[in-house]
Chain A
């Protein structure tokens, strides 16, 4: 089969397998729970729940195989070339139509280029690992109701004792399948409407997964917060979509990309609005400043969810979307994206350095790394940013899965209650060390040897250096990632020291034990990805960045200058690949990392001191002042709501209607009185009527006779 038929077929299979699993598990789960508990939401037998989990894992495995085959088909059709690939090839088309309204045509369409194929493999690979890992991590969720029920310490009950509930492993896998279906939908989408629909579905399944422990007030609040923060961004995205429709009259990516240069020349302002609006959605989804607050709270969900949804894939959807719609973005929008990314990476890295919560550190680390990706895309480093997305998916999933393994063993998130775990959990410690090294970008610049993060971070720095050279007034866009790199190395070193080095600081940490193999094996798989995702296949030029570069938008191939208003010039590929730029970037990155590691080793005295300098006020800022912004928005919204429901709705609208009704009622009440019910009075009126009619007819007759 030709690739233009083979690729859509394989990816359709990869896309629909999780949907099938979701439908099956939803029906089976509700049937089983009804038979068991007599009501919806009753317990499902542990073995049955595991079977549902196996179905979901099998489905995502099918997706993985199909995606890998699609990647193979892509590589076979597009052999790696030397350096810069020719103009991007993409297979666009439609599986089936859904809606035809006037000029609007919406369907299940696909736009398949190298980015799509690589993303599909990354998503399904991490998802498969997380599916397998969850059998071990959520083993207790197979418990039935009764004595062996799941005891939840964090959920309050009316009597103040531990909440005991039935396990719900089947629910977990059901939501996970829904998420995979939605995420692959975003990846494959061939038009903006489909992207938006699956974008929302991803948000909904993220809500379900964050709120998995919905009895815990923290988890329920975090799920709501994530939903609301994403809504704020999505309003902007809707504005962008409307402007896009007004500008282009189509949502089809292939046609949009073809006509983008034309309307960028004619409607520059409106094109900027389109880009800015769509980027608002990415700010919400990818937790960029100022909407970063939901991601640390989303850690209230189970840790495998944090690994898959809130680090590797869903939050990366914002970055992916920026990469997808890159040809529609004007230079001003791109510089805005880079600035937001730079601020985000600094904020995230700073707050990651001070938190005492293991998962919160990793969450802020994710925020910071997403900032790096946005920065890179904004500076014109399309390939570098998306390459970092791929490598980050590997090493951050590894770090989260490792954190889950630690939490599973110690039973707490608090770094102060850990320490010395390398003796009890050598495998977890070794795997997390790999993840940490990949995150800080460890490698040797001269030899070109390193873990995956080394290559992607280097690529980002190349663009930062090249951009700062062309635009000296924007030099801070180089210094921000440099300072961020120091902080990154520092916080991940701190995390490793406090968790695995030194002495155990709590009783539970002393009695910790290694996690089961069902958790360690998936970690080893993502560890392989964290190590090797940056390498080229031996004996060829084929690598993740060379694959991505095949689909790099035309606009990234050469330097681009914005309007006279901003006067920014984005460097093209060739200026970022100059020898001296590469050398400067490489040394800057590795230097920053070394500074960070050394300072963390000194500050935390080899894991004997938990506190970071200025840690307490920073945590106060994180936990008190940042939420107060959203509390302020909440207060404003409440006031506005009170005004709308009080004076406006109840006062003006309800009052007006009630007034009109009252007028009718009083008129009717007045007219009612003449209906006395007295027969003789009616006869009197009758006679009066006769007299009046007679008099009138007499008068008419007399006038007729006389006239």
Chain B
């Protein structure tokens, strides 16, 4: 019933949230299944962007229907996440490079030196 109403109703916050959830799940699955370190990094980006979509949707005055407000909290939060993601990507790529230099592969399953 809920899904049916989504199809008929105009695009609103709920639609964005569903897109965000799909992105998040896709990212998680990607992280959990990819053996390639770069693929895992892409999964991380998807998870972060799923969260960004949610911030934008919930923080948007147009989607909430009170156009008079100029609340920018959601947008600012999204910008922060993007900056952090950029930084995280830089660090992660550096780790990936060093990892490759050490074990000559970027298969994450080869990184099990901390096994108990």
Contacts and interface: CB of A to CB of B under 8 A. Distances in A.
B108 A680 contact: yes
A676 B114 CA distance: 8
A680 B33 contact: yes
A673 B116 contact: yes
B35 interface: yes
Contact of B31 (A671, A675, A678, A683): A683
Specify which of B32, B40, B108, B115 lies most central, judged by the most chain A CB atoms within 10 Å of its CB: B32
A612 B46 CA distance: 115
Given A680-B35, A680-B108, A675 B116 contact: yes
Contacts of A677: 111-116
B40 A679 contact: yes
The SS class assigned to the A binding surface is helix
B100 to A, nearest CB: 15
Contacts of B33: 680
A674 interface: yes
A672 B116 contact: yes
Contacts, number: 41
B112 A678 contact: yes
A687 interface: yes
A690 B28 contact: yes
Contacts of A686: 28
A96 interface: no
A47 B59 CA distance: 107
Contact of B109 (A673, A675, A680, A690): A680
Interface in A649-707: 671-680, 683-684, 686-687, 690
Interface string B84-116: 000000000000000000000000110111111
A309 to B, nearest CB: 69
A684 B115 contact: no
A683 B115 contact: no
A683 B40 CA distance: 10
Contact of A687 (B32, B35, B108, B116): B32
Interface in B1-60: 28, 31-35, 40
A686 B44 CA distance: 13
A671 B116 CA distance: 9
B116 A674 contact: yes
A119 B109 CA distance: 92
B116 A683 contact: no
Contacts of A671: 116
Interface residues of A, number: 15
Contact of B32 (A673, A674, A675, A680): A680
A683 B41 CA distance: 12
B102 to A, nearest CB: 15
A15 B109 CA distance: 85
A595 to B, nearest CB: 94
A673 B116 CA distance: 6
A680 to B, nearest CB: 5
B101 to A, nearest CB: 18
Contacts of B35: 680
Contacts of B32: 680, 683-684, 687
Contacts of A687: 28, 32
Nearest to A684: B32
Nearest to A691: B28
Interface residues of B, number: 15
A686 B108 CA distance: 16
A673 B35 CA distance: 22
Nearest to B109: A678
B116 A679 contact: no
Nearest to B37: A679
Nearest to A674: B116
Contacts of B114: 675, 677
Contacts of B111: 677, 679
A672 B113 CA distance: 13
B106 to A, nearest CB: 12
A679 B108 contact: yes
B36 to A, nearest CB: 11
B51 to A, nearest CB: 12
Contacts of B34: 680
A674 B115 CA distance: 9
A105 B43 CA distance: 82
Contact of A675 (B28, B40, B108, B115): B115
Contacts of A673: 116
A608 B33 CA distance: 114
B46 to A, nearest CB: 13
Contacts of A683: 28, 31-32, 40
A402 B42 CA distance: 108
B110 to A, nearest CB: 10
A676 B32 CA distance: 15
B39 to A, nearest CB: 11
Nearest to B44: A683
Residue from A671, A677, A679, A687 with most neighbouring chain B CB atoms (10 Å): A679
Interface string A362-399: 00000000000000000000000000000000000000
Contacts of B109: 678-680
A676 to B, nearest CB: 6
A683 B34 CA distance: 11
A688 to B, nearest CB: 10
Contacts of B31: 680, 683
Contacts of A674: 116
A675 B28 CA distance: 21
Contacts of A680: 31-35, 40, 108-109
A676 B108 contact: no
Nearest to A680: B32
Q: Which of A673, A677, A680, A683 has most chain B Cβ within 10 Å?
A: A683
Interface hub of A671, A672, A684 (most chain B Cβ within 10 A): A684
A678 B110 CA distance: 8
A324 to B, nearest CB: 73
Contacts of A678: 108-109, 112, 115
A538 B34 CA distance: 122
A674 B114 CA distance: 11
Contacts of B40: 679-680, 683
A532 to B, nearest CB: 92
A397 B15 CA distance: 120
Across chains A and B, which 10 residue pairs bring their CB atoms closest together, nearest first? A675-B116, A677-B115, A677-B112, A672-B116, A679-B108, A683-B32, A683-B31, A687-B28, A677-B114, A684-B32
Given A672-B116, A686-B28, A687-B28, 18 more contacts: A671-B116, A675-B115, A675-B116, A676-B112, A676-B115, A677-B114, A677-B115, A677-B116, A678-B108, A678-B115, A679-B40, A679-B108, A679-B109, A680-B33, A680-B108, A683-B28, A683-B32, A683-B40
30 contacts: A674-B116, A675-B114, A675-B115, A675-B116, A676-B112, A676-B116, A677-B111, A677-B112, A677-B113, A677-B114, A677-B115, A678-B108, A678-B109, A678-B112, A678-B115, A679-B40, A679-B108, A679-B109, A679-B111, A680-B31, A680-B32, A680-B33, A680-B34, A680-B35, A680-B40, A680-B109, A683-B28, A683-B31, A683-B32, A687-B28
